[in-house]
Copies of this chain bind each other. A is one copy, B any other.
Amino acid sequence: MDISTIIGFICGIVFVITSIMMGGRLGLFFDLPSVMITIGGTFASVLISYPLNKFLNSLKSARLVFKTQEFDTGNIIQKIIDLANIARKEGLLALEEAAQSMEDKFLQKGILLIVDGTDPELVRNILETELAFVEGRHKEVQGFWETVASLGPAWGMIGTLIGLINMLDQLNDPSSIGPSMAVALVTTFYGSVLANFISTPIANKLKIRSSEEVLLKEVMIEGLLSIQAGENPRIIEEKLKAFLSPTLRDTVNEKDEGEAKAGE
């Protein structure tokens, strides 16, 4: 579970509800016709924008925001150094066995390409193409939520315009102006909450997750090519640690103190 997402959602909901109840009644802010025009209208526009399968995939991607997805770069660097040591001592073919137990599909594929004796240029080419498309798919999902974030307030305004025009046309009863305008503004409120509390933050967190995953895969590509080139494990470690922040770097140091030296 991603703690910050959950704290964020709970706090936001509590703040909004408290804020409403301190000045009025909550029921005023639950208005089904307003939900229909704001949320319904937004998703109608988004449906025109995206093919059905991308629409559903992107909606489902919102789940990811609640799941913790630890990208333990330090751990992966350690694994790559271990592989480099194996390759140095027992030859590239010995990596095949190690690859079997790999959980990460990308790293596994890379090792198998190396074991197959694929040309280094082609290994880089295949892995970078795959990385580019992983990044592209991530961007598409972020784009979906950014589209929702820009269409939400627009449909909120369309709803408010409908309410206002209807109200202005029936100005006979002055006492009804206030409540009518209140209802008209609820769609603007929905649009604003949809954009700034839901879709923009989701797009933001997906973007950060994506950049972490891309960084991890870049480390893997760099490491795999170094292993294939038969570079010294110590140099590989030096190279890969440049990808880490100083704090993370120390965690690798601790772990591999014994092993890295043994591997030389």
Contacts and interface: CB of A to CB of B under 8 A. Distances in A.
Interface stretch (A74-82, A93-101, A153-161, A254-262): A153-161
Contacts of A113: 238
A260 to B, nearest CB: 15
B19 A192 contact: no
Given A8-B45, A41-B16, A177-B171, A24 B192 contact: no
Given A15-B37, A158-B189, 19 more contacts: A4-B48, A8-B48, A11-B44, A16-B37, A16-B158, A19-B159, A19-B162, A48-B65, A48-B204, A54-B208, A113-B238, A126-B238, A126-B242, A129-B239, A129-B243, A130-B242, A137-B245, A161-B185, A161-B189
Interface of A: 2-5, 7-9, 11-12, 15-16, 18-20, 22-25, 28-29, 33, 36-37, 40-41, 43-52, 54-55, 65, 105, 113, 118, 122, 125-127, 129-130, 133, 137, 140, 147, 151, 154-155, 157-159, 161-171, 175, 177-179, 181-182, 185-186, 188-189, 192-193, 195-197, 200-202, 204-205, 208, 235, 238-239, 242-246
